Structure 1
Amino acid sequence: MKHAYDALTPDVVLDALSDLGLAVDGRLTALSSYENRVYQVMLDDNASVVAKFYRPERWTDAQILEEHSFAAELMAEEVPLVGPLTLHGKTLHHTHDFAFSVSPRRGGRMPELDDAEVLEWIGRFIARIHNVGAQRHFATRPTLDVHTFAVESRDWLMAQNIMPLDQQTEWLAVCNQAIDIATQKFAEHPAHHIRLHGDCHPGNILWTPTDLPNGGPHFVDLDDARMGPAIQDLWMLLSGDRKERTQQLSMLLDGYEQMRELNRHELALIEPLRSLRLIHYSAWLARRKDDPAFAQHFSWFGSSDYWAGQTHMLVEQCEAMQEEPLYV
């Protein structure tokens, strides 16, 4: 089966950048990205840029431009973020039915989250993003809530009939239970929604050595930015047992609350948000199963073992959501 990205050949990428006036030298390297197609493109002066071709039909132009506008606001406040370049007066461009942007290249590695100083620094970094994010709302980008992340995902999965019959009944029952508990928790702990990074896990934060100019953490894009509770950008940085997660959260908040207060009621949403992410992730994978890149990297998706594992994790989440939340 042909996929839209089959039309995105190296020549299409190079011609698109050349048409913007960039002196490409013919060299390009595909970078790791399951959602979009991202390339490092070399220029004649041996410099390079990063070209991101957005997954067709995921975001509208208006939604992408809201992401770009948010990035510009953050950079204006000197928040470390690599945003799109303005070329010919625009940040969003089009070629062969693809929307794309071009950004400076900036490297880095995953941060060492067992370092208290690093966690505190990242806490300050995220708080600075939230200070800007709280200044206005997105007009077109979605909100992270039970309906958009879990209910819509569940309904789509069931409508597609892609789940093995031997797993469908059990998964659906525990999924519905998880949605009911999460709905109750969100009602008990209402949270103010702000503009978020939205997918703030360790793999999406790049760290550069602090002895270099502009060292420390930075993001390279805001592709998953949406409205939601502030804790969404913190909980995915926690790992380990309850004691370890509590210690990590304390260090993150030591930095975060130097810049911005966190409503402690939102701590009760950590496990509900984890549950929503589990359900949403299965639908996210299923929607991309025809993408050749996904078939290569996620060959295990869709098996009976996969869905049995998801059912087991949702059972655990139903229990976790009813335990006392982390508290610092």
Structure 2
Amino acid sequence: MTKSPDQAFANLSPDEVLNSIEQFGLRCDGRMLALNSYENRVYRVGLDDGSSKVAKFYRPARWTDEAILEEHAFTQTLAELEIPVVAPIVVDGHTLLKTDKFRIALFENRGGRAPDLEDFDQLEQMGRFMGRIHRVSQTSNFEHRPTLDIDSFGHQPRAFILDNNFVPPELVEAYASLTEQLLKEAAQCYTRAGDTTLIRCHGDCHPSNILWTDNGPHIVDFDDARMAPAVQDLWMFLAGDRPDRTAGLDAVLTGYTEFCDFDARELHLIEALRTLRLIHYYGWLAKRWDDPAFKMAFPWFNTQRSWEDHILSLREQAALLHEEPLSWFG
């Protein structure tokens, strides 16, 4: 019996990984390491010549071919401009490779460490890095990829969680009422920001997707690339208490504005975007909970304690939504 794409993806074996890659003319030496990715399946694979590549096996039905190719074209454009991103490898004229079961992209294996968010020199350098990327981002829009908005990152994951009874019964009212209020307040943040511009963003620019080397940063995993306000690619670099975040913001934007203008009205969106990320994260885990890989990677999820902790985090976030936005005097 032929497996469905979802079944084949869920049961992807080491032999299938290596055999799939060898269909494109690469000879594997048997070395393989699963990397820290859950939405897709990502592996570092050794080749006969002693080198290694990173192979991404795309989750079925998450993105259309057009959306994947749009992301690939964006990162290739950045790489051609010598902006340090990890773009997909072209094999026989294609970046999206297909077997009878899988869609695959291959990447050069790049190393590095997470940036130090307490090092203002690094923050300024990351600002310059993102400013170079966003200068290119502004030249055109995504046509096949979504927009980060309150509906897709807030209302939809909230509804999925509630409709599928993930929250323990005694916590449902607290979760439902709190998230409803948070989304109203997030909408008010958007209103205060006004008509800000949406650009092509990395979309998931947390420190783990920035690899720091002696030559500076390079960025990986544009899989969540989408239209968003520019600050979406900046706010996750800010850590610590309010004075620390303010100083970090100044460092990031000092570098950023060397290459790209920044609309200070978007500072109203930082806590709204953080709120949406919190809600979306639990919705993402809930939506993928039937995938055995998620139960192995996130065994704490969907327990009484995890929902209590999540609600506590959301309450803490509610307080931040009421604060004045961070100041920047650039």
**What's the TM-score, normalizing by structure 2?**
0.94
Structure 1 gaps of 5+ residues are 210-214
Q: Which residue of 1 aligns with 2:257?
A: 257
Name which of structure 1's ranges 158-167 and 134-143 shifts more when overlaid on structure 2.
158-167
Instruction: Please tell me whether residue 247 in structure 1 is matched to residue 247 in structure 2.
Output: yes
Which residue of the other structure, out of 174, 189, 203, is the alignment partner of 1:185? 189
Deviations 1:178-222 (A, max 9, x none): 00011111122132100001011111100111xxxxx21011220
CA contact (8 A) 2:10 2:291 kept: no
2:313 maps to a residue whose letter is M
Give the distance between the partners of 1:134 and 1:226, measured in 2 at CA. Answer: 13
- How far apart are 1:48 and its partner, in Å? 1.0
CA offsets 1:216-275 (integer angstroms, 9 cap, x no match): 101122011000000111111111100011111111111011111111110111101111
User: CA offset at residue 103 of structure 1?
Assistant: 0.9
Q: 1:321 and 2:321 equivalent?
A: yes
Q: Distance in 1 between matches of 2:308 and 2:22?
A: 49
Alpha-carbon distance change, 176 to 226 in structure 1, aligned in 2, over 3 angstroms: same
Q: The residue matched to 1:258 in structure 2 has which SS?
A: coil
Give the aligned CA root-mean-square deviation in angstroms.
1.3
Cα distance in 2, alignment partners of residues 14 and 4 from structure 1: 14
Deviating 4+ runs (over 6 angstroms): none
- The secondary structure found in structure 2 opposite 1:42 is strand
1:96 and 1:292 map into 2 onto residues whose CA distance is 23
Describe the SS at the equivalent of 1:259: coil
Deviation per residue, 1:108-130 (Å, 9 max, x gap): 11112222211111000011111
Separation of aligned partners in 2, 1:62 and 1:186: 30
What is the match of residue 288 of structure 2?
Answer: 288
TM-fit CA distance, 1:4: 4.5
Identity %: 48
Of the candidates 18, 21, 45, which is equivalent to residue 17 of structure 1? 21
Which consecutive residues of structure 2, in runs of 5 or more, have no partner in the other structure? 1-5
Tell me the distance in 2 between the aligned counterparts of 1:10 and 1:89: 26
Cα distance in structure 2, aligned partners of 1:322 and 1:162: 28
Q: State how far apart, in whole Å, the 2-side matches of 1:161 and 1:65 are.
A: 36
Q: Deviations over 1:36-90 (max 9, x none)?
A: 1111111111011111101222211111111101111111211101111110111
**Is the CA contact (8 Å cut-off) linking 2:117 and 2:239 kept in structure 1?**
no
Q: When the two structures are aligned, how many residues end up with a matched partner? A: 322
Residue 217 of structure 1 aligns with which residue?
A: 217
What residue number does 2:134 align with?
130
Whether the 8 Å CA contact 1:3–1:291 is kept in 2: the answer is no
Matched residues in 2 for 1:267 and 1:232: separation?
10
Per-residue deviation, residues 159-182 of structure 1 (Å, max 9, x unmatched): 212221111111000000000011
Equivalent residue for 1:121, pick from 107, 118, 125: 125
2:88–2:107 contact (8 Å) kept in structure 1: yes
| Cα distance between partner residues in 1 of 2:220 and 2:316 | 33
Match in the other structure for 1:145: 149
Whole-angstrom distance in 2 between the partners of 1:157 and 1:4: 26
| Alignment-derived partner of residue 42 in structure 1 | 46
Paired position in structure 2 for 1:201: 206
**Greater alpha carbon shift after TM alignment, 229-238 vs 24-33:** 24-33
Residue aligning to 2:3 = none
Q: Is the 8 A contact 1:116 1:251 kept in 2?
A: yes
**In structure 2, how many angstroms separate the alpha carbons of the residues matched to 1:115 and 1:316?**
26
CA contact (8 A) 1:123 1:256 kept: yes
Counterpart of 1:97? 101
Against the structure 1 CA distance between its residues 150 and 6, is the aligned structure 2 distance closer, same or farther, given a 3 Å change threshold? closer
Aligned mates of 2:29, 2:61 — CA distance in 1:
30
